[in-house]
Amino acid sequence: MIKPHGSDELNPLFVYDTAENEALQKEAESLPSVLVSSATAANAVMLGGGYFNPLTGYMNKADALSVAKEMKTTSGLFWPTPVLNLLQDSNGVKAGDRIALKDPNVEGNPVLAVMDVESVEEFTDDEIKYIAQNVYRPSPDEAHPGVEAFEAQGKVCLSGPIQVLNFSYFQSEFPDTFRTAVEIRNEIAERGWKKIVAFQTRNPMHLAHEELCHMAMDRLGCDGLVIHMLLGKLKPGDIPAPVRDAAIRKMVELYFPENSAMVTGYGFDMLYAGPKEGVLHAVFRQNMGATHFIIGRDHAGVGDHYGAFDAQTIFDEEVPEGALDIEIFKADHTAYSKKLNKVVMMCEAPDHTKDDFVLLSGTKVREMLGNGIAPPKEFSRPEVAKILMDYYESIK
């Protein structure tokens, strides 16, 4: 199986030994504690699950600025986005302290992780702006939700290793879908897959997405597909994870051969960082055992901040050769061709005009579903559309 990023073996930071986990939870009751941001909590979940391998905890200022500038830490490890524990103030925490990190997303704010604080530093306004500009690359004339969420966390940076005690709400709310990188690697091995392509989604999958996955599997000669859903915080208006999960599972059940596709999810808050987040997504997928990763049009984008294929070209122009072992399957926009009576990549149909494709905007699709109208079968499987129509009916 493909090696994880940065090490020979996966090193998840979750404390799997039951006795040790219980002892740490008891110890945490007497430790100073801080209530972390949702983004910091999501980082802990990803560190715990092995997705952030080989990181051992939260980055310090120097590493965060180095990663923002040139996608590598001060020690030379390739890494695309800072992994931080940011606070509004230090809460009296100082270097050398051992503290409990409390979860903002679970009632009662239980302890999520125990942290050994190596440094307490503060970013200047200019440094925060520098990170935002280099990681999120926002357009100057449009608000960027990722930048807003990043800047709202605060400027005080706690760095150091952590021991993760639970997976927040992801394991309890999505028991059939949430999987760590460790668990996905184990299941890939159990299924006997050797070549695996991963597909990232934060939306339900329509016919074009389904066919794109089939195309990638066929062209790459893969024996397995991992559909990997984002289960964390999205932007307002996005369809909730349980609804997406049900729709995707129905699609796989009906339209994929047995033992060819896994439906899984991971606990992370969407950054909407476009190209840099595309690279981060590739790191996740290498760590969970995928050999290939589909990156399509406007991957991890939002609004008009990025070019349609910026998340593909960054692998050619900015990711050093050999930095990652996973290979990228570059996909164009896919749509149903009226001429050919099948879904194609639009770039592979040069004799087509826009009118030769079945194209519906997201707004139009939501409007149709909200009115109880199924999109055409060339756009969405009827069984998938039914699940989405039932959801929109339920929120009227």
Amino acid at site 259 = N
Q: Is 203 a catalytic residue?
A: yes
160 dihedral zone (left: phi>0; alpha: psi -120 to 50; beta)? left
Helix, strand, coil percent content, the chain, rounded in steps of 5: 35, 20, 45
Q: Are 42 and 172 in contact (CB under 8 A)?
A: no
Coil vs helix vs strand at 375: coil
| Options 98, 137, 202, 366, the catalytic residue | 202
Q: Which residues contact 325 (CB under 8 A, 6 or more apart)?
A: 2, 3, 5, 286
Q: Is 202 a catalytic residue?
A: yes
How far is 268 from 373, CA to CA, in rounded Å? Answer: 32
Beta bridge partners of 328: 293
Neighbours of 126 (CB within 10 A): 8
Q: How far is CA 164 from the centre of its chain?
A: 19
| Options 203, 219, 285, 371, the catalytic residue | 203
Q: Which residues contact 394 (CB under 8 A, 6 or more apart)?
A: none
E strand spans, the chain:
33-35, 57-58, 86-87, 98-102, 111-116, 119-122, 156-164, 196-201, 224-230, 261-266, 292-295, 327-330, 334-337, 342-345, 357-358
Q: Are 368 and 359 in contact (CB under 8 A)?
A: no
Q: Are 215 and 332 in contact (CB under 8 A)?
A: no
User: Could you list the active site residues?
Assistant: 202-203
